[in-house]
Amino acid sequence: AQKGILSADITSYPGYTGDANAISGTVNVTQKNFSVLTVTYDLYDTLPNDSGGLHIHENRTCDDAGDHYYRPNGKNSTDPWSSDVATYSSDENGHTSGSFDIASGYPYLANFEHAFVIHDGNGTRIGCGLLTPLAFGIHVHTGTTCDDADLVYNSYWTPEDDPDPWDNITYIPDGYGNATGWFTIDSGYSCTENEGHAFLVHGQENERLGCGLLKSELEDLNANTKALNVSPPPSVSPLEEEDDDNDAGLNGLMIALTMIGSFIGLVVLAGLWYTKNYPTNKEECENLETKRSYSTFGNQP
């Protein structure tokens, strides 16, 4: 699954007028485990042949980024951002790239919109950007199979000379790659015209990570209803046994029949609720606004 990525576009730190005031680049933060982050950076126009620190700071603004953002624990109260791990070294052109892991004590989502600051070798703040989550695409495609990548084709909308409405449909995963949500879209196709088409989940480079074929919820309900298997009530004691045994058997039968009757009643009520709230034929489906919900799940440690 696609893990969540907090990304910061780095520009010159507010008020900085030094030789690295044209600094640019990107910093991405992902979750390695609960409190360990992976920081990946690609920076341009820092000071040539320089080494400096790069850190998440406590505030959610670059105007006043505050101090380093970390949470001390019982074993170690030292600022992890002050270690040699969170440093970069630039080449003669001021370019630098790399990655490192750091245990800040805060999980992935706690770093949302915090300032990421770049320092020069003297500790001066030369660059900054706010960490915001990247979004990735989820789309209905023209193809009606997930078995052959070449037959999935592109996004499914009409008329095709209009802008692709799926370009703005995205999901935002958490640090483990889990996402859930819903959206509405006018693709030009009706509810029933989307049935059987491939629904794709894309990743950071727009690669295709997952695929499934769309089917109606009514189809699922019918399949589940046919699969219901109500166990028969327990057998009644033979007439030749003692009267007490007969009474116990009859009582057991009445209880079993009452439970089965209640269960059937719940199934009927559920069916009536579904019929009221969901389309039961093509005409009703055609009148619905096209609406999608989704869930994608990664692997939690």
Residue 13 CB neighbours (<10 A): 24
Confidence class of residue 51 from pLDDT cuts 50, 70 and 90? very high
Confidence class of residue 292 from pLDDT cuts 50, 70 and 90? low
- The CA distance from 90 to 297, in Å, is 38
- The CA distance from 144 to 206, in Å, is 20
pLDDT of 157 strictly over 90: yes
Whether 178 contacts 287, CB under 8 Å: no
pLDDT of res. 72 = 83
- The CA distance from 107 to 218, in Å, is 40
pLDDT of 100 strictly over 60: yes
Cis peptide before 80 (omega within 30 of 0): no
**Poorest-confidence range of 58-72, 122-136, 208-222, 252-266?**
252-266
- Section 8-34 average pLDDT: 95
Residue 177 or 276, more confident? 177
- Section 250-261 average pLDDT: 39
pLDDT of 158 strictly over 60: yes
Whether 170 contacts 137, CB under 8 Å: yes
- Section 90-118 average pLDDT: 96
**Poorest-confidence range of 23-37, 254-268, 273-287?**
254-268
- The CA distance from 181 to 197, in Å, is 20
Confidence class of residue 295 from pLDDT cuts 50, 70 and 90? low
- The CA distance from 179 to 133, in Å, is 13
Contacts of 189 (CB under 8 A, 6+ apart): 156, 157, 158, 290
Side-chain-side CA neighbours of 168 within 13 Å: the count stands at 8
Any idea how long the chain is?
301
Q: How far is CA 144 from CA 29, 55, 156, 161, 206, in A?
A: 36, 47, 11, 22, 20
User: Which residues does residue 22 pair with via DSSP β-bridges, in sequence order?
Assistant: none
